[in-house]
Structure 1
Amino acid sequence: MASQESWTPLDIEPEGVGGPEELIERLGAMTPAEMSRLLTEEKAIAFRGFDIPADTLDDVLDRVLPHRIGGALRPARERYIDDVWSVGREQPHMAVRPYNEMSSTHAWPGRIALYCHTAPATGGPTMVVDGAIWLASLTLELRERFAPGVRYVRYLHDGVGFGVSWQRAFVTTRRDDVEVFLDGTGTEWRWTADGGIHISRVRPAVVTHPVTGADVWFNQVHRWHPAGRGPGDVLSRSLSADQRPWNVTLADGSAILTEEVTQICESAARATVDIPWGRGDLLLLDNVALAHGRRPFTGTRRVRVGMAH
């Protein structure tokens, strides 16, 4: 296997007439099993130079994401077409630390596709980190502390407060709808006296890849912990644990140390590979093998996201 320093995604480029027609034809010649095997081997596949237009995206995604996941109850994204989402609330000056999509939830996609609708003027590459290398770079002591998993904690207010309201998060104004959804996810929850809801769920910090059998670092500790959210999260740090819009602890409720979050972030930074964007490019990722994030950018950057089991 190539070292992480020399690894790059498999680039697939035009060989004939080009355009989305050639890409659709080439993808159609592959069986789902062949595509799965190739993605498992390569971890990421970049389809470049086909200049895929938005109105052809669905046809391409049908071939790389045959069983797309619906978008219900995804507050951070905005519906686009079918089961494709646009990344919302991007702050160009800030990096998005690498993470595995939906790893803090009760179920996650096995693969994701990122489509570049509009490339930024400068910067903005997608960052990826090999989860097996990330895990191996952490100290044994840290890995042992995280072995039982981590507890993700959210407080969603009733319309007034810091962060997201439960009505917006669950796209409903009915408490019954929220309770029915949460009851099927292994989540602990309680309505609070101020009309908000406190949600807590334990999820793994490490998972085993279902095909390769490799153990990978698979969580969002560094994104949920105040120490990993940067100086802009002062307000969250000043709130009590019960009032923070997001927080994370060890599975038993014990605090995660700042120095542990620092080690996690620094280990990811050393293993990061940047994947630049061109308009109309498509990037297919193994969501368990690779964490993904984004570098800062200038100009306008519009990336669509599709997911599948």
Structure 2
Amino acid sequence: MTWQPFEIAPESPGQSLADYLRANPVDDLLVREKALVFRGFGVTEQTLEGPMELLLPNRLAYVHGNSPRTKVGQNVYTSTEYPAEFTISMHNELSYAAGWPSRLLFFCARAAATGGATPVVDGVRWLESLDPGVRDDFAKGVRYTQNLHGGMGLGKSWQDTFETDSRPEVEAFLDASAAEWEWRADGGIRVSQVRPATTRHPVTGAEVWFNQADQWHPASLGDDTAAMLAEIMPPEDLPQSVAFADGSPIPPGHVIQARDRGLENAVDVDWRTGDVLLIDNILVGHGRRPFTGSRRVLVAMSD
């Protein structure tokens, strides 16, 4: 039987999501079902704060995030602002970092004209779908490298990434993350960190695929883009790159397999305006389908 997010509707006409959550705590349900869709509660951007306070007890800033977003409230952001025509492959938020949110909340303020679903994938199934040789190779861990410019250049600046203009604050954050880092002569910073390719859920013990190697690997850019970048800069100078923990290259076929099988095993959450999606960020990966029209989905996260 195919896994699906668990859908929740109001218990009575006109019931608000905040009232439902006060009467029905969902912590245990989220661990069991992995993803919850709250539909029909009439949530708006103006009434979102109440449910968020109940669902995200310690709302986090998107510090060290590598995706382009706009902050629209107290630790509330637009979802990824990559161009609408692109698919965003499956991933667990901040799985490349030393710490990550335990849960994510998505809110559909405005559904796309067409497309724009948020696909979600069971991390256990994703891991089991990979060839044994790929899983074995990734068991050695993953090394992520970022080159964050100081205000002008490819990719994100370190100021945007760490939500500060203070170098000492960045250094303290990275030291606490056990990352290797160095300031560059051009005002940017290079960050390197080794992380595992899988992790286990703290409650269920389930082992899941938990890395973003495919999104950091040049192979994910497509042959033409990767070839163009290779002509103008070495891999170590790309805004982001990835290797195995020992520095050896990850074969392109490995990351393409991980990307494709994540998408193949995903289930689409087709948005309706007012929907709220809550996911366990360890048990479930997420992505985005292409869309047309003016889609607005907000995201917030909690530890």
Above 0.5 in TM-score?
yes
Instruction: Give the percent of matched residue pairs that are identical in Structure 1 and Structure 2.
Output: 43
Q: Deviations over 1:163-198 (max 9, x none)?
A: 222233333344323212211111001122333211
What code does the residue aligned with 1:29 have? Answer: A
Aligned match of 2:202: 210
Q: Indicate which of 102, 113, 118 corresponds to 1:121.
A: 113
Aligned match of 2:9: 13
Aligned match of 1:104: 96
The verdict on how the C-alpha distance between 1:264 and 1:82 changes in structure 2, with shifts beyond 3 A counting, is: same
Pair 1:220 & 2:212 matched: yes
Aligned match of 2:267: 273
What code does the residue aligned with 1:204 have? Answer: P
What code does the residue aligned with 1:249 have? Answer: A
Aligned match of 2:171: 179
SS of residue matched to 2:51: helix
Aligned match of 2:243: 249
Structure 2 Cα separation of the partners of residues 116 and 141 of structure 1? 39
Structure 1 Cα separation of the partners of residues 128 and 245 of structure 2? 21
- Larger CA deviation: 131-140 vs 22-31: 22-31
Q: Deviations over 1:247-271 (max 9, x none)?
A: 0000111100011112112221321
Structure 1 Cα separation of the partners of residues 24 and 248 of structure 2? 48
The verdict on how the C-alpha distance between 1:231 and 1:120 changes in structure 2, with shifts beyond 3 A counting, is: farther
Structure 1 Cα separation of the partners of residues 285 and 234 of structure 2? 30
SS of residue matched to 2:47: helix
Q: Indicate which of 14, 25, 32 corresponds to 2:19.
A: 25
SS of residue matched to 1:102: coil
Give unmatched runs, 5+ long, in structure 1. none
The verdict on how the C-alpha distance between 1:226 and 1:46 changes in structure 2, with shifts beyond 3 A counting, is: same
The verdict on how the C-alpha distance between 1:176 and 1:264 changes in structure 2, with shifts beyond 3 A counting, is: same
Structure 2 Cα separation of the partners of residues 267 and 165 of structure 1? 32
Within a 5 Å distance, the mapping from 1:1-309 to structure 2 comes to: 3=1, 6-18=2-14, 21-31=15-25, 35-72=26-63, 74=65, 76-231=68-223, 233-234=225-226, 235-238=228-231, 239-309=233-303
- Larger CA deviation: 192-201 vs 64-73: 64-73
CA contact (8 A) 2:65 2:94 kept: no
SS of residue matched to 1:62: helix
Query: RMSD of the TM alignment (CA)?
Result: 1.7
CA contact (8 A) 1:84 1:306 kept: yes
CA contact (8 A) 2:64 2:97 kept: no
User: Displacement of 1:73 after TM fit?
Assistant: 5.1
Give unmatched runs, 5+ long, in structure 2. none
User: Displacement of 1:74 after TM fit?
Assistant: 4.4
Taking structure 1 as the reference length, the TM-score comes to 0.91
SS of residue matched to 1:161: coil
The verdict on how the C-alpha distance between 1:170 and 1:110 changes in structure 2, with shifts beyond 3 A counting, is: closer
Structure 2 Cα separation of the partners of residues 70 and 159 of structure 1? 21
Structure 1 Cα separation of the partners of residues 218 and 117 of structure 2? 25
The verdict on how the C-alpha distance between 1:252 and 1:72 changes in structure 2, with shifts beyond 3 A counting, is: closer
